[in-house]
Amino acid sequence: MHRDIASSALNVLLGVYLAVTSLLWHHDAANLVTGLAVALLAIAAGLLARRRPGAFWADLPLAAWLAATIWIFPHHGWASWNLAMVAIGLALVPITMRLFPELPPGERRSEA
């Protein structure tokens, strides 16, 4: 349960970060709209995942689209690196949820 909350929070933070950087950095109209759309969808997926854990899988197409826009639209300066890092972060959320499932409370190791 704690891992789900942390994953949802990470998703929302990545979306907020992408929205803020899309608004603050110099972007043309296509990059601005794409950045804000992906940011809002990532925030929505993070919030929805609190009720439906499968919502994290929406991050994979969002990450793929964000990575593709690096080559589709021209970017200024560090914007390409920023988009790449956010895309990697969005892709890692559902992948790590799948690869490292949370153990039920009775099966967890106690740290002593």
pLDDT at residue 2 tops 70: no
Domain membership of residue 108 (yes or no) is no
Instruction: Please state which of the ranges 4-18, 33-47, 74-88, 94-108 shows the lowest mean pLDDT.
Output: 94-108
Domain membership of residue 82 (yes or no) is yes
Domain membership of residue 105 (yes or no) is no
In whole angstroms, what is the distance from residue 40 CA to residue 48 CA?
Answer: 12
Domain membership of residue 33 (yes or no) is yes
Domain membership of residue 110 (yes or no) is no
78 CB-near residues (< 8 Å, 6+ apart): 25
Task: Please give the residue range of the domain that contains residue 25.
Answer: 2-99
Domain membership of residue 111 (yes or no) is no
Into how many domains does the chain fold? 1
Domain membership of residue 36 (yes or no) is yes
Domain membership of residue 107 (yes or no) is no
